[in-house]
């Protein structure tokens, strides 16, 4: 299922410059890029949607989309988590950056980077690969693509994303717990237990293996609504964008289609951040402040009594920026990876991009 890159003339036509100045890239360079992409596709071979090979590719795309992007925004996540646990620790996000830099240098901004990379790579594998699997499963369950339209189609997006995230969070939870502890236990743990192995040993020796999963229920509470919003709003936003463009999706080249993916992802990310933020605050609080033997309900009630309703929204502005950027980049990476292998971008029509 090879899908050649758009021609230079097609790319030139998208730029608002005089014809003589548009996209001054040689034809030999374009041929080289197309040869490289054709080589990749020849090694991978045909990929038929709905097959194990297709789900494997989507799983790998999810790893590439989630692990590196979450690690990239670790500095924002670090400040957000610390302000959720202690609203008075920094007077502003900018002051937080300055304080962290002054005490530990640039590397200190990436405190918790290792569990972030590992945890969100695992989550991305289940999230994206699982979503594609469950979307196909539920579509077939409700009568196939022809029968799944309108509200039923949105329902498939919601059920598929919720199912995928249920399993993704089981993979993420232990590493998320370690990340939060490293980032918010100041200063001893962040300083003395940077190595992942020693941190795992420390938690297990004090709390048992269950200590790594004590945040699973609130993690589900945060991530399942988040992912349902992420995938359903992305799919619907992308469809809406193409409906309001002058040409069908298939008439836009790869660059333009992945640009739509980024825009749709950013919009979806903003909605995700708002929907899931109260649960995100509780995850941070529970990982730091849940007492041994305390029930989940008892811990939530005690923490809520301390912070109140307003405390559930601590750190929301920085999380909107972080999640909007994250989600936009994830969809850009994921769909770019898919089209590099001859597959269609997500959302709108599922036909692959043809050469123009």
Q: Where are the domains of the chain?
A: 62-340
Domain 62-340: give its CATH code: 1.50.40.10
List all residues 6 or more positions away from 43 whose beta carbon is below 8 Å from its beta carbon. Answer: none
* CA dist., res. 5 & res. 14, Å (int): 15
Taking a C-beta distance cutoff of 8 angstroms, is the pair 325, 262 a contact?
Answer: no
* CA dist., res. 45 & res. 56, Å (int): 13
* CA dist., res. 74 & res. 57, Å (int): 26
Nearest C-alpha neighbor of 135 from the set 164, 99, 165, 101: 164
- pTM here? 0.74
Nearest C-alpha neighbor of 251 from the set 349, 119, 143, 106: 349
Digitized pLDDT (tens) for each residue of the chain, 356 residues in all: 434 444 434 434 444 444 444 434 445 555 665 666 666 666 667 788 889 999 999 999 999 999 999 999 899 888 888 887 787 888 888 898 899 888 888 888 898 888 999 999 999 999 999 999 999 999 999 998 888 888 899 999 999 999 999 999 999 999 988 888 888 875 544 454 456 666 777 777 777 777 788 889 888 988 898 899 999 999 999 999 999 999 989 888 888 899 999 999 999 999 888 888 888 888 777 766 677 777 778 888 888 888 888 888 888 888 888 888 889 999 999 999 998 888 889 987 655 544 44
Give the pLDDT confidence score for residue 280 in this predicted structure.
Answer: 80
How many of the other CB atoms lie within 10 Å of CB of 210? 11
Give the pLDDT confidence score for residue 351 in this predicted structure.
Answer: 53
């Amino acid at each position: 299922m090879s899908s050649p890159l758009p021609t230079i003339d097609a790319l030139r036509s998208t730029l608002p410059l005089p014809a003589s100045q548009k996209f001054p890239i040689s034809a030999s360079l374009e041929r080289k890029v197309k040869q490289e992409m054709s080589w990749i596709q020849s090694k991978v071979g045909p990929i038929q949607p709905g097959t194990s090979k297709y789900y494997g590719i989507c799983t790998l795309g999810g790893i590439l989309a989630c692990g590196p992007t979450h690690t990239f925004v670790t500095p924002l996540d670090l400040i957000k988590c610390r302000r959720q646990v202690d609203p008075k620790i920094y007077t502003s996000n900018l002051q937080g950056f300055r304080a962290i830099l002054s005490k530990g240098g640039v590397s200190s901004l990436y405190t918790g980077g290792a569990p972030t990379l590992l945890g969100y790579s695992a989550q991305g594998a289940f999230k994206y690969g699982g979503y594609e699997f469950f979307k196909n499963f539920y579509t077939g369950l409700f009568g196939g693509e022809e029968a799944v339209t309108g509200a039923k189609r949105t329902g498939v997006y919601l059920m598929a994303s919720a199912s995928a995230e249920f399993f993704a969070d089981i993979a993420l939870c232990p590493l998320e717990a370690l990340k939060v502890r490293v980032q918010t236990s100041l200063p001893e743990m962040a300083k003395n237990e940077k190595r992942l192995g020693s941190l795992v040993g420390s938690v297990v020796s004090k709390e048992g293996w269950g200590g790594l999963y004590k945040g699973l229920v609130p993690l589900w509470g945060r991530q399942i609504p988040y992912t349902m919003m992420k995938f359903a709003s992305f799919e619907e936003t992308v469809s809406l964008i193409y409906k309001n463009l002058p040409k069908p999706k298939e008439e836009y080249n790869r660059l333009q289609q992945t640009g739509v993916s980024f825009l749709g992802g950013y919009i979806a990310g903003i909605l995700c951040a708002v929907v899931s933020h109260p649960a995100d605050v509780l995850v941070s609080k529970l990982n730091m402040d849940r007492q041994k033997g305390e029930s989940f309900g008892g811990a939530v009630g005690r923490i809520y009594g301390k912070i109140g309703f307003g405390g559930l929204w601590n750190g929301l502005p920085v999380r909107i920026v972080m999640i909007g950027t994250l989600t936009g980049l994830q969809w850009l990476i994921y769909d770019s990876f898919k089209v590099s292998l001859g597959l269609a971008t997500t959302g709108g029509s599922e036909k692959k991009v043809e050469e123009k």
